[in-house]
Chain A
């Protein structure tokens, strides 16, 4: 997808978001029954910001850029399918830990599993030799255990933070 098309999509998104913010602000109470002035209305500032965001989104959608048709916007990090696959895996595994495992499993177990899985998936080879999976698993497990117990000790025993 070209830079210009992605910019158009993003502009459209910000227009919708800005209008939603404006609509939400418009429907907020004014508290006139308490003798409040219109200028005290809770929705005043968000309404202005929503309109400003929608306007900027509109400009982003309609404007022309000098190299917009030629440049691939995803060039920096998500250039190839391989990179995109890594990004997807990274999102899945981190969200899985941060949103699901962190809340529902004991901290040491969830952290050890996350660190182990992350290193197993993403650790890189520095030459063309085949991956030595048992060695990688051993190293990942060692790091996972040290991190799980180390972070738990740091926060619960030293900083007195109750972890999930």
Chain B
């Protein structure tokens, strides 16, 4: 263990890796702060740009982009009242009122400190729980992986479409159906390929995600036509130490809840922020200030979404199941670069886990330096008109999709997924379960069939093995709860 950690330490502090951390974190902040450019989109685009890099450098760049972009969303949430990424939606509630009260810089600094502590706390929890979870996951067989895939899609649909879980489930099922396209793994039979050679290889995850998150966002942004107004950049640039100390209990609570929300498959940073915010309000001595410029609310939201980043990476590393949409891209990028995440990672590649841990920590430190010292130049980016930025992003979406395997078909997939994603979002279908379905489809298919063969068609081991039984119980409770809530809502519309 000590040798693996020393090796990771040496790699992280090499000049090349420090330089990657420097630019990738900054790029992440810029992408995250621009409304319309999400963390998922940034990661998907950067994956296409890091093909030629050596694996540890490429994964480092993606991790820094992930941390930077989730944090970057807070800049526009506070200054524009527009979350740069969905993860910063809760930040607008108290960040923008603070900015309007001529305390913009103070709000930005508090959000930075919240994000720093959130990421570090999440990284510590990752260090503590990833080996435990990986060890536990060694007991998982076909039955458990099947139910884990079902549970992931179900809970992702449930939580990302809290008002209407049915739409979340439909999005997840759509993603699972899309994952069935292409050659299956037992007989190499091309499913739903209609004689089209390109379809026999299946739907490539990166172009699909670039389309669903990038192109769809471009269409939504251009159609909406709302010109944002910037709040005045004023107030203290550095937070007072006593303010930081005062908010430490909120930071601790939000960091823990954010990390654990991040671990839940396909749920992600936005739910991490909302859950932390709701919990902080419940525990607050001044809940009436929430939504009107509460420092505590701002810190809770930012700590929660940043802590969800390491949280979402825990199942990626130990189960090869993404905790959020951006971490699904990260998982795909790891596989592209020859890293095999899963229960054996702590045995086969412990250095990699420590590299991830140190990368997250370094990204959080660089992010804090940028956030506290470069407030004014970073905010200049928000003044770039979106109509001039969006065509550039679309060009990168197209070239990035093409660059993966030099196929025009991937560009068409990106365009098709983008248009479908745009309309689905207008109909209030969430995108995260769709992407998770696309990622988990093969896992679900392989383990369902393997499990049925092992049990000779009996469903008993699917229901009676201890971990399977727990997962089935959670799934049943989740469905019954949703039906009960829907019936209750229908009976009492008010």
Q: Give the interface of A toward B (CB within 8 A).
A: 6-7, 10, 14, 17-18, 21, 24-25, 28-29, 31, 34, 36-46, 48-50, 52-53, 56-57, 59-60, 63-64, 66-67, 73-74, 76-78, 82-84, 86-87, 90-91, 94-95, 97-99, 102-103, 111, 114-115, 118-119, 122-124, 126, 143, 147, 151, 154-155, 159-164
Residues from chain B with Cβ under 8 Å of A82 in the complex: 225
Q: Considering only CB atoms, which chain A residue lies closest to B429 in the complex? A: A10
The CA of A74 and the CA of B425, in the complex, are separated in Å by 10
Residues from chain B with Cβ under 8 Å of A115 in the complex: 391-392, 395
A120 CB → nearest B CB, Å: 10
Q: Assess the A99–B453 pair: CB atoms within 8 A.
A: no
Q: Considering only CB atoms, which chain B residue lies closest to A118 in the complex? A: B391
Q: Assess the B223–A46 pair: CB atoms within 8 A.
A: no
* Interface pairs (30), CB distance under 8 Å: A7-B427, A38-B457, A46-B177, A49-B176, A53-B173, A56-B166, A56-B170, A63-B490, A67-B493, A73-B428, A84-B223, A86-B222, A87-B219, A87-B223, A90-B219, A91-B419, A94-B219, A97-B394, A111-B395, A114-B394, A114-B395, A115-B395, A118-B390, A119-B388, A122-B387, A143-B388, A143-B392, A159-B49, A159-B51, A161-B399
Residues from chain A with Cβ under 8 Å of B215 in the complex: 94
B138 CB → nearest A CB, Å: 25
Residues from chain A with Cβ under 8 Å of B285 in the complex: none
Known A56-B166, A64-B490, A160-B52; 15 more pairs at CB < 8 Å: A6-B427, A17-B174, A28-B191, A42-B191, A43-B191, A45-B449, A60-B167, A63-B486, A90-B223, A91-B422, A94-B218, A98-B394, A102-B398, A114-B391, A124-B387
B463 at the interface (CB under 8 A from A): no
Q: Assess the A42–B177 pair: CB atoms within 8 A.
A: no
**Contact status of A99 and B412, CB under 8 A, knowing A39-B449, A42-B187, A53-B177:** yes
A-B contact count, CB below 8 Å?
192
From A10, A46, A73, A126, contact of B227 by CB (8 A): A126
Residues from chain B with Cβ under 8 Å of A87 in the complex: 219, 222-223, 422
The CA of A47 and the CA of B9, in the complex, are separated in Å by 49
By Cβ-Cβ distance, the 7 closest A-B pairs, closest first, are A39-B452, A118-B391, A87-B223, A66-B493, A122-B387, A45-B445, A98-B415
Choose among B51, B52, B215, B388 the residue with the greatest number of A CB atoms under 10 Å from its CB: B388
The CA of A28 and the CA of B180, in the complex, are separated in Å by 12
Choose among B184, B222, B394, B493 the residue with the greatest number of A CB atoms under 10 Å from its CB: B222
Of the stretches B66-74, B79-87, B401-409, the one at the interface is: B401-409
Residues from chain B with Cβ under 8 Å of A147 in the complex: 391-392, 395
Q: How many residues of B contact A (CB 8 A)?
A: 64
Choose among B173, B408, B427, B428 the residue with the greatest number of A CB atoms under 10 Å from its CB: B173
**Contact status of A159 and B403, CB under 8 A, knowing A21-B177, A46-B177:** yes
Q: Assess the A53–B427 pair: CB atoms within 8 A.
A: no
Could you mark each residue 156-175 of chain B with 1 if its beta carbon is under 8 Å from any beta carbon of chain A, else 0? 00000000001101100110
B226 CB → nearest A CB, Å: 10
B139 at the interface (CB under 8 A from A): no
The CA of A6 and the CA of B402, in the complex, are separated in Å by 34
**Contact status of A124 and B223, CB under 8 A, knowing A31-B187, A102-B411:** no
B87 CB → nearest A CB, Å: 19
Residues from chain B with Cβ under 8 Å of A94 in the complex: 215, 218-219, 394, 415, 418
Q: Assess the B166–A28 pair: CB atoms within 8 A.
A: no
B429 CB → nearest A CB, Å: 8
The CA of A34 and the CA of B225, in the complex, are separated in Å by 59
Q: Assess the A122–B395 pair: CB atoms within 8 A.
A: no
Residues from chain B with Cβ under 8 Å of A29 in the complex: 189
Q: Assess the B453–A40 pair: CB atoms within 8 A.
A: yes
The CA of A121 and the CA of B240, in the complex, are separated in Å by 47
The CA of A56 and the CA of B297, in the complex, are separated in Å by 37
**Contact status of A42 and B184, CB under 8 A, knowing A53-B174, A147-B391:** yes
A118 CB → nearest B CB, Å: 4
B296 CB → nearest A CB, Å: 30
The CA of A91 and the CA of B58, in the complex, are separated in Å by 33
A28 CB → nearest B CB, Å: 7
Residues from chain A with Cβ under 8 Å of B422 in the complex: 87, 91
**Contact status of A45 and B402, CB under 8 A, knowing A66-B493, A124-B385:** no
The CA of A95 and the CA of B218, in the complex, are separated in Å by 12
A82 CB → nearest B CB, Å: 8
Q: Considering only CB atoms, which chain B residue lies closest to A116 in the complex? A: B391
Q: Assess the B448–A24 pair: CB atoms within 8 A.
A: no
Q: Considering only CB atoms, which chain A residue lies closest to B49 in the complex? A: A159
Residues from chain A with Cβ under 8 Å of B192 in the complex: 21, 24, 46
